[in-house]
Structure formats: C-alpha cells, structure tokens
Structure 1
Amino acid sequence: MAVYIVSPKEGRVVGSIDVPDIATMNGMAALPRHPHILLSADSIAGRILSIDTRTIPPIGINGLRTREDYIYFMISSQGTFVRVRIDEHGNRIGDFEVLARSPDASQIYDDFTFDEDGNAYVAVHSSSIVKITPDGVQTTLVGGTSDLILQEPTSVALAKDGKSIYVSTGGNVRTTARQGGQTTEIRLDW
C-alpha cells in the first residue's frame, strides 16, 4: 500500500509514501494539531494506523475521522460506531465508547462525515445514509433496504457551506444490470 500525493494544481501524482505490511488502507484523517500525521484504517486486520508523512513509519477499521480530542471510526464487522479519546500525537488515552450500533446486521456502516453540531452522516451498505446524533439517535436520511436511489454508498463528505453532504457510491452490484458509481448531493437544510 502507499499514500499518493496529488497536486490539484498540476492535476497529477507528484509523489508517494510506501506503507509496508498493510493489507488495506480505508479512509484517512489528519490529526488536528499535527496535520502531518495521518490516521488510516486497515479494515482487514482491524487496526488503526498512524502514518507520519515526515518520517513515514506505520504504527499500528472502516471510515475514521478526528474531531476535537477524539478519533471516531466504524467497525463494520460489529456494526458499531466508536470513539476513543486521543492525545495530540494520536495516542489512545481513554476507553473505547460505542456511540451507536447498526439496527440490522445487513446494514453495514462504512465511511462518514460530521456536521458542525457533531451529527454523523454515515454511508450504510447497501442503499442508505443514516444520521447519528451525538447522543446516538439514528434516523435514515436517504434510502433504505428496498430503495435504489443510492447504489452501495461508500463515503460521505460535508460541503464547505455545511448545507449539503456528498455521497460516493460503488455502483449497483446486486443485479445483472450493473451500473457504475455515483456522486450525489443531498441537501441538509430542506
């Protein structure tokens, strides 16, 4: 695995950082006080990696974000949304807290984003976006088990103005009429 450095101005890859002995890197978040340290999830091995982009040693989940003094992440295989307090260097200094659980084993949490109020918007396989409030209350924002509007949502990003989220999908893989992935805007202020 590797972290690729892309220059938006040049529109190309300008470098890479090798991350050895990793099965997969799923999601990435920079530490707020040390943005040169990236945290990423090895979903297959079930561990969170710390990658120092200055010295590049990997230290050792699906979707992760830092917010204030916590790292938040999904454990898809357990259907849980978890957080743990960390210090400024990304070291765990608290107990793991389960904030929410998937109501159904067939609804698999994937990547997510936060709004300014601390609500999480979660891509849920195979066809929905769930909002989880800071106190763990879950509501389906878009989609559902028989809804095909979103086809395998995988990631969510908050718009800069905070009024929309953008959802990327893996495409329809449940039928023989396969369709490619999507990027969909969902307004939050309606």
Structure 2
Amino acid sequence: MIPFPSSHSDFAIFRPKRQTIEANMRAFIATSILYIALAIGQSLPSRIVYQFPQQPNWIENIAVRKNGNLVLTMLTSPEIFQVAKPWEKSPSTDLVHRFSGFDGLLGITETCPDTFVVVGGNFSGIGVSVPGSFSAWEVNVADKKTTVNKIVNVPEAAFLNGVVALPWDRNIVLIAESALGKVYRLDVKAKKYDVVLGGQYLEPTAEAVPPIGVNGVQIRGDFLYWSHSSLRKVFRVKLDRAGRVAAKTTIDQITNVNTTAIFLDDFTFDKKGGIWAVTNIDGKLLYVTPEGKSTVAAGSETELTVAGDTAAAFGRNIKDKGILYVGTGGSLARPVNGTITEPGKIVAFDTHGYGR
C-alpha cells in the first residue's frame, strides 16, 4: 500500500505523471475485475450440516436413503449414524447401529430401498489395516429397529474399502481391495465372492504410505470407475451384465489430478458426468470435467473447510437437488499446519452452475 501524503507540501514530492496514474488505475481496475471474476467462477456456497462434538470422529463414507437421509459409516468406531433431513437448518443425527468384533467401517452401498451393504475391519493406526479382519454386512434401516446380518468374512483381504452395487442387479456388489489392488464381486444372496479385477492400475505404488491403490468405486453406464489413491488417477473398465470385466475391453484413464492433489480418496458423479472427488490428506474438494480437466472447487492444505475429506454424495430429495454432501475425518491423517485437527463433519455444497 502507498501511504497518503501527510500534508499539502508533501504532494510536491509525490506527483507522478498523469499518464502514469491513468495507466496504473487501468491496470488496477483490470486486475480487480480479474480477481472478482475468478472469485465468482470458483465460488461454491457451503454450510456445515453436522459436526460431531468430540474427537476422534472420522466419517468414512456416505450413502443417501430414498427419503434423503444421510447414512454415515465411521472409521474410528464400528458405528453407523443417520442424519435426518440434512437440508434443514438443524437436522437430527442419531446412532443407527454399533457393531462389535472389529474397529471401523468403510464403504457402504444401497442394494434395495433402505438396505445397505457395508464392509468393516480392524486397524492398528490411521490407514493401517489388519489383514484377515474384514467382513461384509447387510444393514436394513427401514424400520425403527435396525436389522443387521453378516454376509461373509473375507479372510484373504488386507483392506476392503469402496463398495458399489450394480445398478441393473443390486444383489451384486463390487468391493475395492485397496492394499492388494483388487476388486471383489460379492453375490449378496448366495454369500459368495471372487476376484474380478486386479493389476497395476489397482495396486498401490511401491512408495505409497499408507499403501492404498484402488479406493472409491462407482458405476456409470456400463463402466466401473475407480480412484487410485497413490497414482491420483481415475480409471474405468467396461462390465458385462454379470458384473465382471467385459470381453475384449481395456482399462482407460479418465483423469490425472497430480497437479491439484497429493492423494485421491473417494468420488461421485453429477448428472452431467462431472466428477467430484475428495483428497483427504490435503483437504480439497476437486471438480473434474467430463473431459478430464481438474480444478480445486473448495478447500486447501491450510484450512479446515473440508479437512480430511473422505466421501462425497449428492442429495436425493427435491429439497437438496444439486447439493453435494462431503464427509470429513477432521484431518486426522495429516493435521492442518501440522497440528490442527477437528471432529468429523458433513459439509453441504451447492454445486448449481459450477464448472459450466
């Protein structure tokens, strides 16, 4: 900032040419307009829907019921919570179920209205899974009394993570295995599973800490999409109607977010094919165009906006159309500025018009 002269006599010293003043003013106005345009273009209105009152509370994943309620899985405890009417100013949040026998939950997907498949296991530290401890469960939240049934143990798994049901056959669920770099196909009714996909595009890189490869999984059209945490890329492969890799198909890279993130966690699609991805350890919400170009829509490594963001899901109610709900772990994996953490929270973002 240039200080104003303290007296009239000082103006004799501070008297640049008129042309210089006009040029500087034009440059200032042009720069101001540019910054305003950028701010408007990147503006993403948000509000905190719910935040747990104490630490640690790491929200790992989000599913959305047909009535619009959010179903949350917790990594720091084997618990499922429900946020009722998240579009309201002060929605209620209640414990749905607490499991026993393992430490935390991960992916969740709806198989039929109000019935979900969830996976869980043990951890010896943040992101450090205990091999052989993982299992898949079916949870029904339609009635006042939640019902829970074990589907199957997966003893050979080292780290089950993202979960997605086939849209055309929701009895079939695909499960990401992050440590070994595989995708399991689970037949919920038959209680049987097998490996349908693996290899270098799913395995964690040699230097990855924690060793996480394939992470989030989604299905759009006939394709299985997955995020790769250590490569920071999204891939896809075509599926057949049985939920296996289609014959004569190849794995395609959809986007590479190496320039915008140092880690890639979960993601979801909007109705126009854009990808909304969360980055966890560097606290960013990314938007990826259908053409694969990524930008930071919200957050940064130095703020708590979405610190430790782990999951993203769009609302299903007419009252929250276009609202993206982002869950966080409170930056437990990498504290903001090296020291700052907070309880996990759900943040709602109004995505209308963004990236268009």
TM-score, normalised relative to structure 2: 0.51
Distance 1:11 1:118, change over 3 A: farther
Residue number in structure 2 paired with 1:154: 310
Q: Counterparts of 2:168 and 2:325 in 1: how far apart (Å)?
A: 26
Letter in 1 for 2:152: D
Matched residues, number: 190
Q: 1:121 and 1:37, CA in 2 relative to 1: closer, same or farther beyond 3 A?
A: same
Mapped to 2, the partners of 1:182 and 1:11 lie a distance apart of 25
Amino acid of the structure 1 residue aligned with 2:346:
T
Deviation at 1:32, TM superposition (A): 1.5
Change (3 A) 1:37 1:148: same
C-alpha separation in 2, matches of 1:33 and 1:177: 44
Q: Percent identity?
A: 25
For CA contacts below 8 A with separation 6 or more, give which structure has more relative contact order: 2
Residues 67 and 157 of structure 1, relative CA distance in 2, 3 Å threshold: same
Q: 1:67 aligned to 211, 214, 220, which one?
A: 220
**Deviation per residue, 1:21-69 (Å, 9 max, x gap):** 2122211111111110001101111111111101122211100001110
Letter aligned with residue 217 of structure 2: L
Distance 1:180 1:65, change over 3 A: same
Q: Identify which range, 41-50 or 102-111, moves more after superposition.
A: 102-111
Shift of the alpha carbon at 1:75?
A: 1.0
Q: 2:260 & 2:153 partners in 1: Cα distance?
A: 32
For residue 101 of structure 1, the aligned residue among 237, 256, 259 is: 256
Alpha-carbon shift at residue 127 of structure 1 (Å):
0.6
Find the counterpart in structure 1 of residue 346 from structure 2: 183
Structure 2 gaps, min length 5:
1-133, 196-213
- Verify the 8 A CA contact 2:260 2:295 in the aligned structure 1: no
Look up the match of 2:3. none
Q: State how 1:119-134 maps to structure 2 within 5 Å.
A: 119-125=274-280, 126-134=282-290
Q: Distance in 1 between matches of 2:341 and 2:301?
A: 18
For residues 106 and 3 of structure 1, the distance between their equivalents in structure 2, rounded to whole angstroms, comes to: 31
- Cα separation, 2, equivalents of 1:130 and 1:10: 37
Higher strand share: 1
Distance 2:184 2:350 in 1: 33
- Which residue of 170, 185, 200 maps to 1:50? 185
Per the TM alignment, residue 106 of structure 1 is displaced from its structure 2 partner at its CA by: 5.5
Query: Unaligned stretches of 5+ in structure 1?
Result: none
Q: 1 CA distance for matches of 2:177 and 2:298?
A: 28
Bigger helix fraction: 2
Map Cα deviations across residues 105-126 of structure 1 (whole Å, 9 max, x no partner): 8621111111111111001122
Counterpart residue type for residue 3 of structure 1: A
Q: What is the aligned partner in structure 1 of residue 322 from structure 2?
A: 163
- Once the 2 structures are TM-superposed, how far is the Cα of residue 74 of structure 1 from its aligned partner? 0.7
Letter of the structure 1 residue corresponding to residue 269 of structure 2: F
Please tell me the residue identity of whatever aligns with 1:140.
Answer: V
Counterpart-to-counterpart distance in 1, 2:272 and 2:331: 32
Give the aligned partner of residue 5 of structure 1. Answer: 138
User: TM-score, normalised to structure 1's length?
Assistant: 0.92
> Which residue of 2 is the match for residue 15 of structure 1?
149
Residue 147 (structure 1) shift: 2.8
Superposition deviation, residue 151 in structure 1: 1.2
Confirm whether residue 141 of structure 1 aligns to residue 304 of structure 2.
Answer: no
> Which of 199, 216, 233 lines up with 1:80 in the alignment?
233
Please, which of 16, 21, 39 is the counterpart of residue 174 of structure 2?
A: 39
In structure 2, the residue matched to 1:172 is 331
8 Å CA contact 1:28–1:40 kept in 2: the answer is yes
Larger Rg: 2
Deviations 1:55-114 (A, max 9, x none): 122211100001110000011121111111111111112211111112248621111111
